[in-house]
Amino acid sequence: MNARAVVSAVVAGSLAFLLCLVVPACGGSSGVPEVGSHEPLPDSSEGPAAGNPDGSYPVPVEARAEDVSIPDHVIGDGTPESCTPEAFIAAVAQGGTIVFDCGPDPVTITLSEPAKVFNDQIPDVVIDGGGLVTLSGGGTTRILYMNTCDPDQHWTTSHCQNQDHPRLTVQNLTFVGGNSTGETEYDGGGAIWVRGGRFKAVSCRFFNNVCAGTGPDVGGAALRVFSQYENLPVYINACTFGGAEGYGNSGSNGGAISSIGVSWTILNSLFSHNRAVGHGANPAQPGTPGGGSGGAIYNDGNTMTLTLLGSRIEHNEVNAHGAAIFFVTNDHSGNIVIDQSVIRNNPGGSWYPVYPAISMHADTVIEVTDSTIE
Q: For the segment 239-253, what is each residue's pLDDT rounded down to a tens digit? A: 999 999 999 999 999
**Over the stretch 276-316, which tens digit does the pLDDT of each residue have?**
999 999 999 999 999 999 999 999 999 999 999 999 999 99
What is this structure's pTM? 0.90
Pick from 244, 211, 176: nearest CA to 34: 211
Query: Can you give the residue ranges of every domain in the chain?
Result: 4-373
Q: How far is CA 3 from CA 6, 142, 370, in A?
A: 10, 40, 4
**Over the stretch 76-87, which tens digit does the pLDDT of each residue have?**
999 999 999 999
Pick from 162, 176, 169, 245: nearest CA to 205: 176
**Over the stretch 99-150, which tens digit does the pLDDT of each residue have?**
999 999 999 999 999 999 999 999 999 999 999 999 999 999 999 999 999 9
Euclidean distance between CA atoms 153 and 34, whole angstroms: 33
Phi, psi (5° rounding) for residue 40?
Answer: -75, 155
Burial degree of 37 (CB within 10 A; 0-12, 13-18, 19+): middle
User: Does pLDDT of 29 surpass 60?
Assistant: no
